[in-house]
């Protein structure tokens, strides 16, 4: 009896106000204002003023959204603090750096940023060095992800069966994944070191001469791929293994009865169960490998010369050694774009396969 | 009435005590302040010693309680951490240790305080300035390089010297074998080693290269042993610092920022003399441990090879000396000896000496109040006082004050000190301009290509010269 009039009143009130009516609950208008204020302040005002104006605009959007949801949308209000934190620590810096990518700016100089439009994007996209580093990165991605998929898959096949000591061995195999990049880099640097290193000492037993792995491009690439694969093959193994153990045993028993070959069993029973997980592993590892920095920097510093310098290392140089801040943010956004394209490409294939299935 | 009277009594007592305090008590500063000087420093012995001395001995002449809060940052991250702090605007540090090469970038950024007006107004600072070796003043204090604009004071002056194994070089058997093969005496004493030139270094490299199982100074080797090593790494400046010395000794030059805007890179950086000097540097790498072929033989690797007794003779910064003579960290602590870096023998038989200076100044930042600036300058004066510099040198540091390193007892503090003072005369520095890092990174990459055999010395220097010319023209340093 009492609920009907209230609902009617709310609907009427909502109907009376349009999206352009100013009010503390009109988040749409606040969002529109913020969308205008943010780029306008960045272009028009000094950097400090623009920063605070943008922050104020964002705060107004947040407040209007909260007022609008108050008493009606409990769920969204509960997650709002987490979203606010995400916005402050992640989304806002992301937007800010995106804005910076259109400016000529060096963080180590007192000079204020100067708007340059798409100049930074033009510079990096026409820079042969960037293309060279992208080619090197592509090579590293193909080699390292390929190795990880093969090794991870074989390890999963090994650990699929029960055998004595399996649990302990599984834990040991998973250990590299839990170590830090710095530890892995330092470990492999010593492992490959021609004077003291284990690898060189082992080869010397047969050849009588120290073995220098990192003195050629091929050797240095191999060194990086081995270190990265050592760290991340267990991750692929873990995903594939979860698929393998989920295959119902009766399917294999039926195949046994039908005297199906190992290959036939794998193609018809095992692979459909692990296909999506393999694609997931491929997606994760490709994205990570594309951003590879730590292992390369610690093992070869991009050398010999620049032969193993990936785009991740190059971004670091542009940002923190050359201090071309505007250019480095533009380069980072080009990389982000490539990663997003790659991700969507994979997701497209996954969906297509699912539709076929 | 009673309450009013009680309040009045309290007020009278307080006022009387206040008056007595003003009349009877000795004069003192209006308000003694607690001032903390936050200082960014790399984490290594010279800064640890400074902090230790400051904690124990520093009392501000102003009467304020001034403490040094040193933020110890590991060397490999030091530049990034300092740059991030300065450029972020957090204004965390009142002082900082800075590589001299960073002066231009951070002065242009508005972070390092110009000291001229303070020096002009303070005879004590002027006396200190006059006492510092001119090469150190130019390298650590000036921007533009060699101008009269002063920005820093020496924290740890450092330079490249020779570390060698006296047990190997002075061994009678090795001496005889070397004499028979090369027809001159193998240097043994510090004085003899001070007079070496690069042709002798080549001979050391060739002579002391031994396989596992062969004998060295009467002992059978368990592992391969190498004659010589110097920095040839791709990272930071870990080949430029040595190659620059070769170029200057041969009579060539790097791009000379003091000649702005008419000094060019093309024709200087890739001159025939510079190419010859770089080829000379590369020719000696064949006698070094195999890690040199990977481009990762930086100063830390050279240090490790020597302390692990894998090499007979190295060139290294003095800053690594303390760990070399400490038995806990070195297998050659008892055997290590030190001498001046070699030079190039000229046509007249005299040795031509030039080298790239190392070490660091410390600077004041621009956002401090006048009180903090005054306290920081008082700290600088204390640090550069003769007494404290002697204590620093005794603990393993170095002093650029002529009155300190010139005193006879200075050479007794550490075994490398005899090589320090005379070497100061032939030190030069690399660029101070804000484009320093871009110049350096490109140069290091090209040097590395030559060191790892991907390019010739000529090709590498041509690329460097073209890059530098373009970059410096874009930035207006070259017309």
CATH number at residue B294: 3.40.190.10
**Do A178 and A280 fall into the same domain?**
yes
Q: Between A346 and B7, where is the model more confident? A: A346
**Residue A243 in domain:** yes
CB B399, CB B405: distance < 8 Å: yes
User: Which of A210, A212, A303 is the closest to B234 by Cβ?
Assistant: A303
Average the pLDDT over B192-207 and give the result: 98
Question: Would you state the pLDDT for residue A356?
Answer: 63
* Percent of residues, chain A, with pLDDT higher than 70: 94
B410-429 burial, b at 16+ Cβ within 10 Å, e below that, comes to bbebbbbbbbbbebbebbbb
**Do A268 and A211 fall into the same domain?**
yes
B285-298: pLDDT as tens digits: 999 999 999 999 99
Cβ distance of A304 and B437 shorter than 8 Å: no
Question: Would you state the pLDDT for residue A310?
Answer: 97
**Do B206 and B340 fall into the same domain?**
yes
A41-64: pLDDT as tens digits: 888 887 778 888 888 998 898 889
CA distances from A53 to A86, A96, A329, B220 (A): 19, 12, 22, 75
**Per-residue pLDDT band at B18 (split at 50, 70, 90):** very low
Range in A107-121, A198-212, B195-209 with the lowest mean pLDDT: A107-121
**Residue A113 in domain:** no
Q: How far apart are CA B407 and CA B429, in angstroms?
A: 25
Question: Would you state the pLDDT for residue A45?
Answer: 84
Residue B10 has pLDDT above 50, yes or no: no
Is B108 within 8 Å of chain A by CB?
yes
**Residue A118 in domain:** no
Please choose, from the candidates B101, B52, B100, B88, the residue with its C-alpha nearest in 3D space to the C-alpha of residue B72. Answer: B52
**Do A92 and A193 fall into the same domain?**
no
**Do B145 and B225 fall into the same domain?**
no
**Do A174 and A94 fall into the same domain?**
no
**Residue B23 in domain:** no
B117-145: pLDDT as tens digits: 999 999 999 999 999 999 999 999 999 99
A221-243 burial, b at 16+ Cβ within 10 Å, e below that, comes to bbbbbbbbbbbbbbbbbbbbbeb
CA distances from B61 to A223, B167, B259 (A): 58, 50, 43
Question: Would you state the pLDDT for residue A27?
Answer: 87
CB B221, CB B367: distance < 8 Å: no
Q: What ipTM was assigned to the predicted interfaces of this complex?
A: 0.82
**Do B380 and B415 fall into the same domain?**
yes
Interface test with A, best of B74, B294, B449 (most A CBs within 10 A): B294
**Per-residue pLDDT band at A18 (split at 50, 70, 90):** confident
**Do A127 and A274 fall into the same domain?**
yes
Average the pLDDT over B231-253 and give the result: 96
**Per-residue pLDDT band at B30 (split at 50, 70, 90):** low
Among B390, B412, B428, identify where a domain stops.
B428
Range in A40-54, B62-76, B87-101, B372-386 with the lowest mean pLDDT: A40-54
**Per-residue pLDDT band at A7 (split at 50, 70, 90):** very low
Nearest CA in chain B to A305: B449
Question: Would you state the pLDDT for residue A17?
Answer: 65
Residue A9 has pLDDT above 70, yes or no: no
**Do A150 and A39 fall into the same domain?**
no
**Residue A109 in domain:** no
Question: Would you state the pLDDT for residue B6?
Answer: 52
Range in A328-337, B28-37, B352-361, B458-467 with the lowest mean pLDDT: B28-37
Interface test with A, best of B296, B301, B459 (most A CBs within 10 A): B296
B429-453: pLDDT as tens digits: 999 999 999 999 999 999 999 999 9
Q: Which residues of B touch A303 (CB under 8 A)?
A: 234, 294-296, 445, 448, 452
**Residue A252 in domain:** yes
**Do A220 and A155 fall into the same domain?**
yes
Residue B88 has pLDDT above 90, yes or no: no
Contact pairs from chain A to chain B, CB under 8 Å: 95
User: Which of B86, B234, B294 is the closest to A212 by Cβ?
Assistant: B294
**Do A168 and A255 fall into the same domain?**
yes
Is B310 within 8 Å of chain A by CB?
yes
> Mean pLDDT score of chain A, rounded to an integer?
88
Strand-pair category, B344-345 with B232-233: unpaired
**Do A157 and A258 fall into the same domain?**
yes
Question: Would you state the pLDDT for residue A357?
Answer: 61
Longest dimension (CA), chain B: 113
Q: Which domain holds residue A306?
A: 123-356
**Do B251 and B293 fall into the same domain?**
yes
3-class state of residue B230 by DSSP: coil
Average the pLDDT over A262-274 and give the result: 90
Please choose, from the candidates A323, A107, A309, A105, the residue with its C-alpha nearest in 3D space to the C-alpha of residue B435. Answer: A323
Helix pair A181-192, A217-244: axis angle to 10 deg: 130
Interface test with B, best of A304, A323, A327 (most B CBs within 10 A): A304
Cβ distance of A305 and B448 shorter than 8 Å: yes
**Do A212 and A306 fall into the same domain?**
yes
Q: Which domain holds residue B69?
A: 34-157+360-428
CB B383, CB B50: distance < 8 Å: yes
Question: Would you state the pLDDT for residue A16?
Answer: 55
CB B364, CB B113: distance < 8 Å: yes
Q: State how far residue B115 is from chain A, nearest Cα, in angstroms.
A: 19
Question: Would you state the pLDDT for residue A24?
Answer: 85
Can you spell out the DSSP letters for B86-132? HHHT----SEEE--GGGHHHHHHTT-BPP-HHHHHT-HHHHHHHHHB
**Do B289 and B365 fall into the same domain?**
no
Phi first, then psi, for residue A195 (nearest 5°) are -85, -50
Average the pLDDT over B300-318 and give the result: 97
Please choose, from the candidates B95, B115, B114, B98, the residue with its C-alpha nearest in 3D space to the C-alpha of residue B37. Answer: B95
Average the pLDDT over A132-148 and give the result: 96
**Which uninterrupted H or E stretch holds A175?**
helix A166-178
Write down the H helix ranges in B183-316: 190-194, 198-207, 240-250, 272-284, 299-307
Nearest CA in chain B to A213: B294
**Do B282 and B380 fall into the same domain?**
no
User: Which of A210, A300, A320 is the closest to B290 by Cβ?
Assistant: A210
* Percent of residues, chain B, with pLDDT higher than 90: 89
B71 secondary structure, DSSP code: E
CATH number at residue A299: 1.10.3720.10
CB A343, CB A283: distance < 8 Å: yes
Residue A182 makes CB contacts below 8 A (sequence gap 6+) with A294, A298
B233 secondary structure, DSSP code: E
**Do B348 and B405 fall into the same domain?**
no
**Per-residue pLDDT band at B391 (split at 50, 70, 90):** very high
**Do A201 and A78 fall into the same domain?**
no
A 281-310 near B (Cβ less than 8 A): 300-307
Task: Indicate the number of domains in chain A.
Answer: 2
**Do B386 and B353 fall into the same domain?**
no
Question: Would you state the pLDDT for residue A96?
Answer: 87
B36-66: pLDDT as tens digits: 999 999 999 899 999 999 999 999 999 999 9
Range in A177-186, B272-281, B380-389 with the lowest mean pLDDT: A177-186
CA distances from B346 to A252, B191, B251, B353 (A): 84, 20, 10, 10
Question: Would you state the pLDDT for residue B284?
Answer: 98
Residue B310 has pLDDT above 50, yes or no: yes
A282-323: pLDDT as tens digits: 988 999 999 999 999 999 999 899 999 999 999 999 998 888
A80-102: pLDDT as tens digits: 889 889 988 999 889 989 999 99
Task: Indicate the number of domains in chain B.
Answer: 2
Q: How far apart are CA B97 and CA B86, in angstroms?
A: 12
**Residue A342 in domain:** yes
Q: How far apart are CA B353 and CA B364, in angstroms?
A: 33
Burial label, A215 (beta-carbon count in 10 A; 0-12, 13-18, 19+): buried
**Residue A106 in domain:** no
Question: Would you state the pLDDT for residue A214?
Answer: 95
A207-241: pLDDT as tens digits: 989 999 999 999 999 999 999 999 999 999 999 99
Among A43, A67, A100, identify where a domain stops.
A100
**Do A199 and A66 fall into the same domain?**
no
Q: How far apart are CA B286 and CA B296, in angstroms?
A: 15
**Residue B112 in domain:** yes
Question: Would you state the pLDDT for residue A353?
Answer: 67
Is B294 within 8 Å of chain A by CB?
yes
A141-199: pLDDT as tens digits: 999 999 999 999 999 999 998 899 999 999 999 999 999 988 999 999 999 999 889 99
For residue B150, what are the β-bridge partners?
B142
Please choose, from the candidates B174, B170, B122, the residue with its C-alpha nearest in 3D space to the C-alpha of residue B150. Answer: B122
Among A100, A133, A154, identify where a domain stops.
A100
Q: How far apart are CA B363 and CA B385, in angstroms?
A: 17
Q: How far apart are CA A311 and CA A290, in angstroms?
A: 8
* Percent of residues, chain A, with pLDDT higher than 90: 55
**Do B213 and B330 fall into the same domain?**
yes
Q: Which residues of A touch B224 (CB under 8 A)?
A: 195, 210
CB B430, CB B253: distance < 8 Å: no
Is B83 within 8 Å of chain A by CB?
yes
**Residue B120 in domain:** yes
């Amino acid at each position: 009896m009492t609920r009907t009039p209230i609902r009617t009143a709310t609907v009427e009130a909502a109907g009376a106000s349009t999206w352009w009516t100013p009010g503390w609950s009109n988040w749409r208008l606040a969002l529109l204002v913020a969308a205008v204020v943010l780029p306008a302040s960045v272009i028009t005002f000094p950097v400090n003023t623009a920063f605070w104006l943008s922050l104020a605009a964002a705060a107004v959007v947040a407040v209007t959204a909260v007022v609008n949801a108050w008493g009606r949308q409990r769920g969204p209000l509960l997650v709002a603090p987490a979203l606010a934190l995400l916005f402050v620590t992640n989304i806002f810096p992301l937007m800010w750096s995106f804005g910076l990518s259109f400016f000529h700016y060096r963080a180590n100089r007192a000079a204020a940023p100067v708007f340059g439009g798409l100049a930074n994007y033009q510079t990096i996209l026409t820079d042969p060095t960037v293309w060279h580093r992208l080619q090197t990165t592509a090579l590293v991605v193909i080699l390292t992800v390929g190795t990880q998929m093969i090794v991870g898959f074989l390890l999963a096949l090994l650990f699929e069966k029960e055998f004595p000591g399996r649990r302990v061995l599984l834990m040991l195999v998973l250990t590299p994944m839990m170590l830090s990049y710095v530890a892995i880099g330092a470990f492999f640097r010593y492992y490959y070191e021609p004077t003291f290193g284990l690898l060189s000492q082992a080869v010397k037993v047969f050849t009588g001469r120290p073995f220098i792995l990192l003195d050629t491009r091929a050797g240095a690439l191999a060194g990086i791929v081995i270190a990265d694969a050592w760290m991340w093959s267990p991750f692929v193994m873990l995903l594939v293994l979860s698929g393998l153990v989920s295959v119902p045993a009766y399917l294999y028993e039926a195949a046994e009865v039908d005297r199906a070959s190992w290959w036939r069993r794998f193609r018809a029973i095992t692979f459909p169960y692990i296909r999506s997980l393999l694609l997931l592993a491929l997606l994760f590892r490709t994205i990570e490998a594309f951003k590879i920095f730590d292992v390369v920097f610690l093992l070869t510093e991009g050398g010999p010369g620049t032969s193993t310098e990936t785009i991740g290392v190059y971004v670091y140089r542009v940002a923190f050694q050359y201090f071309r801040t505007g250019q480095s943010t533009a380069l980072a956004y080009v990389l982000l774009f490539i990663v997003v394209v790659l991700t969507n490409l994979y997701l497209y294939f996954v969906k297509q396969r699912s539709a076929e299935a | 009435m009673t309450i009013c009277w009680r309040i009045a009594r309290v007020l009278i007592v307080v006022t009387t005590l206040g008056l007595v305090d003003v009349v009877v008590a000795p004069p003192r500063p209006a308000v003694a302040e607690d001032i903390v000087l936050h200082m960014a420093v790399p984490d290594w012995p010279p800064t640890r010693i400074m902090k230790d001395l400051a904690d124990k001995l520093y009392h501000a002449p102003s009467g304020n309680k001034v403490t040094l809060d040193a933020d110890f940052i590991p060397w490999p991250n030091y530049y990034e951490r300092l740059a991030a702090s300065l450029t972020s605007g957090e204004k965390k540090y009142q002082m900082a240790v800075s590589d001299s090469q960073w002066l231009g970038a951070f002065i242009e950024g508005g972070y390092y305080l110009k000291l001229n007006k303070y020096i002009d107004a303070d005879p004590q600072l002027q006396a200190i300035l006059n006492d510092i070796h001119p090469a150190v003043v130019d390298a650590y204090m000036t921007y533009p390089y060699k101008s009269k604009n002063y920005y820093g004071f020496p924290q740890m002056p450092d330079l490249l010297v020779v570390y060698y194994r006296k047990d190997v070089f002075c061994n009678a058997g090795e001496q005889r074998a070397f004499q028979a093969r090369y027809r001159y005496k193998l240097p043994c004493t510090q004085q003899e080693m001070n007079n070496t030139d690069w042709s002798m270094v080549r001979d050391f490299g060739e002579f002391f290269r031994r396989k596992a199982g062969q004998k060295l100074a009467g002992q059978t080797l368990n592992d391969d042993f190498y004659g010589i090593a110097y920095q040839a790494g791709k990272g930071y400046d870990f080949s430029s610092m040595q190659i620059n010395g070769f170029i200057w000794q041969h009579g060539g030059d790097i791009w000379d920022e003091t000649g702005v805007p008419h000094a060019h890179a093309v024709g200087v950086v890739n001159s025939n003399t510079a190419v010859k000097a770089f080829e000379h540097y590369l020719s000696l790498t064949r006698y070094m441990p195999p890690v040199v072929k990977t481009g990762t033989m930086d100063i830390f690797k050279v240090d490790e090879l020597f302390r692990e007794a894998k090499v007979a003779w190295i060139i290294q910064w003095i800053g690594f000396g303390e760990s070399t003579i400490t038995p806990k960290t070195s297998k050659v602590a008892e055997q290590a000896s030190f001498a001046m870096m070699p030079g190039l023998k000229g046509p007249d038989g005299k040795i031509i000496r030039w080298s790239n200076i190392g070490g660091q100044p410390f600077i004041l930042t621009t956002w401090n109040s006048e009180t903090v600036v005054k306290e920081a300058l008082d700290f600088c004066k204390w640090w550069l006082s003769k007494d404290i510099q002697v204590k620093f040198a005794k603990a393993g540091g170095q002093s650029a004050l002529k009155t300190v390193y010139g005193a006879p007892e200075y050479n007794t503090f550490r075994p490398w000190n005899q090589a320090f003072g005379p070497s100061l005369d032939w030190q030069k520095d690399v660029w101070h301009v804000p484009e320093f890092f871009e110049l350096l990174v490109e140069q290091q990459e090209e040097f590395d290509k030559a060191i790892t055999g991907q390019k010739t010395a000529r090709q590498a220097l041509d690329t460097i010269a073209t890059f530098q010319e373009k970059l410096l023209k874009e930035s207006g340093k070259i017309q």
